[in-house]
Structure 1
């Protein structure tokens, strides 16, 4: 797993497919992150006990996103909260990309690239939830 940081702030985490998928339960985010990302893989016959989530109010200050690259490749540009380009990385099939702070943009590198994006909500609309970088 690779963390992209700027002045001590974790902006993004890239979890390559080779590290993301395997046996058992693995989480890639500390408890304090607004979005929690993990993977699990078990053999047939494994029982996962049923559970329900309790009502728990949270104060969420930032939208955080998780990308799962289902197919293809992309280049992600990672920006500091000051809009300064900090790093770029390439992500491919099976990779996870957690976008935690600052900004981001993408270049699609292969035709047919497919990405699942998950983010915390509720979504307040483009004028409230985001701003375009120059």
Structure 2
């Protein structure tokens, strides 16, 4: 199983899936510079330090909402849909897995008591940024 998987529908990236076991030897960013959400693993050696710093107030224009989900407890299946609401694929997410959701649609089915940690752009606007739709009927799953 690939520890880092880019899931797409045609030319449209839907998600970056990072398995819990991925531990690169050197700093590696996964997402291209033009993405509104950047994701990577930053590696430091013993005795290294991050110099104290402030982030400057940079104005950014964001279109859509991307989300980062980390499985903190349990396991679930994420279903990924294209922009036409067609199921593209499903993936099992287990403890420590991380997924960056970029485009199309998604849904989650819990296989156990599950806690998901979510990061996305704010402010939170409730259901104003979502369109719910019916998932396709599954064969016994």
1:22, distance to aligned residue in structure 2 (A)? 4.9
How does 1:30-109 map onto structure 2 within 5 Å? 30-42=32-44, 44-109=46-111
Partner of 1:2 in structure 2?
5
TM-score of the pair, normalised by structure 1: 0.87
* Aligned residue-pair number: 131
- Runs of 4+ aligned structure 1 residues displaced above 6 Å come to none
Partner of 1:133 in structure 2?
133
Q: CA-atom RMSD, angstroms?
A: 1.7
Residues 66-106 of structure 1: CA distance to partner in whole angstroms, max 9, x if unpaired? Answer: 01111221100001111111110011111111100011000
- Which has the bigger relative contact order, CA under 8 A and spacing at least 6? 1
Contact 1:73–1:110, Cα closer than 8 Å, also in 2? yes
TM-score of the pair, normalised by structure 2: 0.83
Structure 1 gap ranges (5+): none
Answer 1 or 2: which has greater strand percent. 1
Structure 2 gap ranges (5+): 135-141
1:43, distance to aligned residue in structure 2 (A)? 5.2
